[in-house]
Chains A and B, each alone.
Chain A
């Protein structure tokens, strides 16, 4: 494993992987639906930028839309490294989880 992920980074990365392509506002909505917790947009953007810097995500400019007050959105997509890191992380975690005796 090359790089470790923070808890929030992990979730955002997984969400991006699931959507194939996503952006800040959408991720905030998905996050609150999936985890039933609120998060601020800048927190998400911060994580996206960090993942991009680590090379796990790549971004591209989307088309400007009326919904966004005529602004372009920035779309994020997982890279090869992103996919592998997520896979490794999850497998490692699952391996440990499977060794835990199940109570319920």
Chain B
């Protein structure tokens, strides 16, 4: 016999495993013979291939039952079949179960989307080694400011002098540090210009730090007068990326102007950036223009500074070293008082870049700030909503078990083992859970747009951070499914045959568990309702507080950036514009200011009653305004009056009440006419004291403020209107603006809307909480409904007997609903202290907080009572109203 390869071993093994035993010899033999024959025709490969094909074809002889395991395929098939029969028989109950679980999972998925995005800030590949440098400033023992931004010299000094620091990058934006705005203009086509809010001067390493990819051109931010932009921005100005590369944009911020050449296009990374930039101009531009302020200055805190450290570095140790570094660059800070304590101290802090978004308390933090606590609470809510849904499932299944006792009895009589019964019910649980998952995914896909509208984000299922939540979520889900499926399965399958067949089965042990679980559900729902009411109450409270000024009908117009002249030479134009606007019907007054209500002011500039004495200086917020600005805001003067044209021979100044107190004036009237010194020697005369007004949201206390007059600063125009036809007046104002400040894009909004934007974070929280509270309650309701209707039906006969003996409908209703309401009360009683404690804690974050009244707790109780009544009442009523003849013949 010729030498040739034997038939594939794997194929033969498969054949042995799956072929019907009594055919095996015949088939194997025939195959061997065919194989030899095919080999003899010369095609070895084809012979082997055909052998495989035949073996797979032989799978048709496969017969189940060759496995030793006790669940055979046939058995599994039967489980699934009878599960679906059961679903059909108890359609309402199955629907309730699936719906409840699906709703719970939907809520959890939405929360995961939301949380994932909030946690996904600054998640660059280097995030572990990147820190943001911020600093506090103390003088004579008192804190002057806390700032998320530090000095221009800090970053380079850290890289130079600290071996742990391997790289640094600074960001600077005029509009953030000094107010006002920035305009970019195409150098070759002056009419193409836009205001750019997201433009930063950046050191070259910034791109590398945060995974910003250079997709076209090169990163030449080391050179002055270069800029990199996003593809979107390039298209906005030049139509295409190709046309933009190498072109020049003119930069204006009202103070300085630069010509910036586009050297590259960058792409933003997949994660969110705390500082979201559309254009990055080279920081070297600033250093070249004004090295004194931008290269190595240690006084102006306007620079967002990131440092990269090596892997062994300890950020706390670096913070310590920073104080020595300060003394090196700020020799003046070496002065000590009699007790040997430094007069002036800068304290530096390093924050991991990924922690900035959720853990920042800085008033001048750049970019959106989230709240770590909210995120944690949301994760807990997601967990609990799903748990509630499983509790429903367990409750309904164990309750239903009484009804299915007969089925269990019959199955047992027919010889079913307990193991098989458990598996039957477990199969049902798995099927219900899987259907719920599918339904939840459908809900998420359908509900996504509504949810996004609600939380004002662009979330999708893919927003879920699988590397963070994937494993945990899936483990949690599988474990929950297994537990919620196994428990009822064991309870149901442990019915005694004889009792079960008599229909007398009673499971007392699970009754307590069921009650306990319901109490938990109600507790959680009450908590969510209370939280929602508290947030809503606090927002309403803040909304209704007297603000101390009138923000209705005030139009805010951003001042021009591009001007023909600078400083005092601009005054005639500004004056002319103001007069023209005042002449428009519907406009009652106009004023300018560096800051408008709703904007934060950073302390730091100093004023004192004693000339040339640093020790007497107070750090009070400073605002520069024109004549009539404060009157336009309608603030209330306690003494003196607003700036006017007659105050000529001196620089007038106005204090708010808090500032007057801080400067040591007992009585506002006493302050008027007194002299103050700004920057130690510049003389100012107090002409008025105003009542404190809420310059910022009520989250914050009122700070001491002072106002200095300067007619040439015009970052914001505030225009009070007294007309219903706002749009007509607005058109006219815009026309005048364009005529007086050519080349400037106009931007305007109403002060009340601007001010309200401060509460956005709380409003989104409110919406999110109310949405999930709603879902949790619905899920809990489904459970209550299912359970109560079931237990009412169980007692149909009892009700019949009682009725025959003369019980009234109301008394029967009381009897049947007593238990559920008792559970509601217990749940509520447990929820109240937890809620009270958390709400008190949360309210303490606000400077102005609402009083916590009893209504906050009674309203949720009534609400839950009402919902429970609706959920349980109908079936109970049906049972109690039924004709006793019918109910007695029941069963």
Contact = CB atoms under 8 A, between A and B. Distances in A.
Interface of A: 23-25, 28-29, 38, 40-43, 45-46, 49, 67-69, 71-74
A38 B31 CA distance: 14
Interchain residue pairs A-B with the least CB separation, the first 10: A71-B29, A24-B30, A25-B33, A40-B57, A68-B29, A25-B30, A42-B58, A42-B57, A74-B26, A41-B54
B536 interface: no
A68 B34 contact: no
Nearest to B53: A40
B680 interface: no
Nearest to B34: A25
| B28, B33, B58, B60 interface centre (most CB from chain A within 10 Å) | B33
A46 B34 CA distance: 16
A23 B54 CA distance: 16
Given A40-B54, A41-B34, A41-B54, A71 B28 contact: yes
B23 interface: yes
B614 interface: no
10 contacts: A25-B34, A28-B30, A40-B50, A42-B60, A42-B61, A45-B61, A67-B36, A68-B32, A71-B29, A72-B29
Interface string B1-34: 0000000000000000000000101111111111
Contact of A42 (B25, B32, B36, B54): B54
B476 interface: no
Nearest to A68: B29
Contact of B33 (A43, A45, A49, A68): A68
Interface in B43-58: 50, 53-54, 57-58
Contacts of B26: 24, 45, 71, 73-74
A69 B27 CA distance: 12
A38 B49 CA distance: 13
B781 to A, nearest CB: 58
A23 B32 CA distance: 13
| A49, A67, A71, A73 interface centre (most CB from chain B within 10 Å) | A71
| A23, A25, A28, A67 interface centre (most CB from chain B within 10 Å) | A25
A49 B50 CA distance: 22
Main secondary structure of the interface of A (DSSP, over half): helix
B749 interface: no
Given A40-B53, A40-B54, A68-B29, A45 B34 contact: no
Nearest to A26: B33
Nearest to B61: A42
A25 B31 CA distance: 7
Given A41-B27, A41-B54, A42-B54, A67 B33 contact: yes
A28 B50 CA distance: 12
A23 B30 CA distance: 8
B25 A71 contact: yes
B124 to A, nearest CB: 58
Contacts of A69: 28-29, 32
Contact of A45 (B27, B36, B37): B27
Contacts of B34: 25, 28-29, 41
B57 A41 contact: yes
A68 B34 CA distance: 9
Nearest to A24: B30
A49 B27 CA distance: 12
A2 to B, nearest CB: 27
B60 A46 contact: yes
A69 B57 CA distance: 21
B3 to A, nearest CB: 15
A29 B25 CA distance: 19
Contacts of B29: 25, 68-69, 71-73
B313 to A, nearest CB: 69
Given A40-B54, A41-B57, A41-B58, A67 B32 contact: yes
Nearest to B26: A74
A43 B32 CA distance: 16
A99 B15 CA distance: 49
B30 to A, nearest CB: 4
Contacts of A45: 23, 26-27, 30, 61
Contacts of B32: 67-69, 71
A10 B36 CA distance: 27
A28 B61 CA distance: 18
Contacts of B57: 40-43
A49 B23 CA distance: 10
Contacts of A42: 27, 54, 57-58, 60-61
A49 to B, nearest CB: 8
| A40, A42, A43, A68 interface centre (most CB from chain B within 10 Å) | A42
Given A46-B60, A71-B32, A29 B37 contact: yes
B7 to A, nearest CB: 9
A24 B27 contact: yes
Contacts of B54: 40-42
Contacts of A41: 27, 30-31, 34, 54, 57-58
Contacts of A74: 26
A55 B23 CA distance: 18
Nearest to B36: A67
Given A41-B34, A73-B33, 10 more contacts: A24-B26, A25-B29, A29-B37, A40-B53, A67-B32, A69-B29, A71-B28, A72-B25, A73-B29, A73-B30
Contacts of B37: 25, 29
A43 B50 CA distance: 13
Contacts of A46: 60-61
A38 B25 CA distance: 23
A71 B57 CA distance: 21
Contacts of B58: 41-42
A74 B57 CA distance: 19
A45 B23 CA distance: 9
Nearest to B27: A45
A72 B27 CA distance: 10
Nearest to B25: A71
A42 B58 CA distance: 5
Interface in B127-166: none
A10 to B, nearest CB: 20
A18 B353 CA distance: 87
A17 to B, nearest CB: 20
